[in-house]
Structure 1
Amino acid sequence: MVKPMVQDKGVDHTIDFLKDGYYYFSKRMNEYQEDAVNSRIFGRKLVMLRASEAAELVNDATKFKAEKSISELSTSLLKEENGVFYLADIDDHQEKGWFEEAFSIEKREELESIFRQRWEERMESWKRSPSIDFMTEMEEMWVIAVCNWIGIPIRANNLNQRTTDIQEFVQLFSKYGLNRLKRNQAKNRIEKWLVFLVRQLRAGRIHVDEEKILYHLSWYEDAAGYILPAKEVVQELLLLIRAFVASSRWVVFSQAALLHHPELKERLQRDKGYVDCFMYEVIRYYSVVPFSVAKTKQQFFWKDMFFPKNQLVLFDIYGTNHHTELWADPDNFQPERFLGRLPGMTTNTSDAAQESITMQLMRISLSYLLRTDWVMSDQPLNSQGSEIPARPKNGMRLEFYHETFYEDM
């Protein structure tokens, strides 16, 4: 017997969505006390889903395909770890032929070294600054670090423009919905810049270390023995850049969590096992990328509900990570909830190399955050639900830098 799916009241909910941002989906499903609801946004019919069983459904590649208009939010990238849902980071490029060589243990160690160097430089500069916008500092630092690692040269006089363009490109959604115009303009400028670099490298007009990813990809041969077209190389580079730079938001929200809960700092400094709990709670609580989308490949029934072919489906990551049936007191930040559910920390190099690159960089960044004390001006640190990836609505202005000794992780 076919079970009718709950229908969201009203004709179209675009205005409600733009007002509430990604909180809209949880709000609606909470109102109906359902984990599957029909709705319409931007004139398009969609099904909102949440919770673990729904995650298993939308991860089924036989039933779902990427939604082309926002393929970066594809459910094929949806991951679950220790009960926390999030969109996969750069590690999922391992399906690419060049990934294994480019992301060897040695290359990951080099990435870690570069990030530590950039952190040390920032901390030195902060000693001379009466105040900083932490979000802006992180965005710029991560652009520099990632480009250093990939081998992309950035001139000092172009840094602000490159950072702005990359941040516009990373921002998939704005308060006006799909931020196509500004994002596409920024993407076009980045593509022209990177295509120029690849062509200059191939022509021998610029020198890039042969061990760098830029060099490796520029001369990478496909299965037929042909080097990739310059534009295809650039698309691969953009995937890397976007994934890494978007990950800087986790560090911004790690700092937000420390500012909101300064009592956690002492325990984090003395209990390295608790650090993992903290990082997973940051990912759960803030849900930087709050939903994923896909289209059905075929018609099927799920829990007696009918899904037609080409049905747009949205999986609510934020709502699942704040589901009262999955999490006790989900709207409070409590790293303790992960005690006993995370594997023990390891000092084995080969095991450590398997850690998510995002988690690896979060861990390094947290070790530096725990060395600093800040006074925050009177400002809210609420994220703007209409921005994806999420970020503090009004930035993060911090004052009175003070460095304290902390044993590194």
Structure 2
Amino acid sequence: MASTNLCFLSQNTTKILNLSLPKLTPPIPKPNFLSVTSFPSSFPRFLWSKVAPFKSSNRLSCRSASTIPVSTKNYEFSDGSSEVELRLQLNVDVQNSRDIFVDSNDTSLTIRVQRNGYLITLIETNNLFGRIKPAETIWYIDDDQLVINLKKQDPDLKWPDIVESWESLTMASTQLLQGTSIYIVGDSTEINQKVAGELAVGLGYTPLSTKELLEMYTKQNFDSWVLTEGSDSVAEAEGAILESLSSHVRAVVATLGGQQGAARRADKWQHLYAGFTVWLSHTEATDEDSAKEEAKRQMQDARLGYSNADVVVKLQGWDTDHAKTVAQGSLSALKQLVLSDKKLAGKKSLYIRLGCRGDWPNIKPPGWDPSAGNVPPSAL
């Protein structure tokens, strides 16, 4: 089973969150990226990369020499604010409650049933939509259904489904992103456009491309315009486009790649702070640790504009068939970023409403105490 690992790093703590692509949904194309790192202006930091497959606990496997995995969507799910309830059709003849094994952790859930000497896997996921309190997990049998109650660590987070998937992430985007626009940056204009398109469709946002907007403005082919005007002139023109777009909400903006792209230049980022930024970065790393180290070095390079990004997706090669998978990884990292600072999306919106022209992290409107979250009416 494909799986990932999300490491939360702050100045004083390190926490590990195990995530995996669940068996509850149809097969997802193999991800074509090694790691996802998301950064606010300074800390906390997130790192998402591949790890070994999920390993079952001995308690679940010691009763049988063989395990038969079963993929099913035959369940009912409901969110009751402080807890979520999962009702699962057993579809097997359970003779004794001792033949049912429910194992949960902060972000994982495994449900197996023993029948005729075999363990049948009903659910196995390291990718719950949110974190739970495993010690408070309760389950019981109701007729032919297995009912599992999971206590949420964050009662304010609404779960659209039991697992984190493309569908549940896009459904949760309203509460997480609050309409804040997303900017896709990186060295490939084509890749930026493909991933931005997937995100826009999933989120119901407006898809925008600075390349297409510049072609409309200049009324000429982009490549010929670059040859005629030069990369510096193009970067200046795109910067003007980004300034105009910085007041927009609910948009996914694909920016220019390469030397002509404004996002590559550290002095052109003042208007990108109005939204969440996703950096799509190529890597030649062949293993997880190398990809992590590469990402860390790049994020410390203040000369590179991309180092200001909120989310970094490390790509090993590229295939357009994987655009949706990369988009899902980007949303997952943005979700963790927003949950680490629930006021973050609101701060982005405040940037737009104040019409700021400086760097977003340094916004200090008169009379505003960021720790208290109060914004003077005169500033809105």
TM range (shorter): under 0.3
Higher relative contact order (CA 8 A, sep 6+): 1
Q: Decide which structure has greater helix share.
A: 1
Q: Decide which structure has greater strand share.
A: 2
TM-score by length of 1: 0.24
TM-score by length of 2: 0.25
